Amino acid sequence: QVQLVESGGGLVQPGGSLRLSCSASGILFSLYVMNWYRQAPGKQRNLVASLTSTGTTNYADSVKGRFTISRDNAKKAVYLQMNSLKAEDTAVYYCNALSTSSTTYWGQGTQVTVSS
pLDDT band at residue 112 using 50, 70 and 90 as cut-offs:
very high
pLDDT tens digits for 19-73? 999 999 999 999 999 999 999 999 999 999 999 999 999 999 999 999 999 999 9
Of 32, 81, 88, 27, nearest in space to 62 by CA? 88
pLDDT tens digits for 75-100? 999 999 999 999 999 999 999 999 98
DSSP letter (8 states) at residue 43 = S
List Cβ neighbours of 101 (8 Å cut-off, separation of 6 or more).
none
**What pLDDT sits at residue 6?**
97
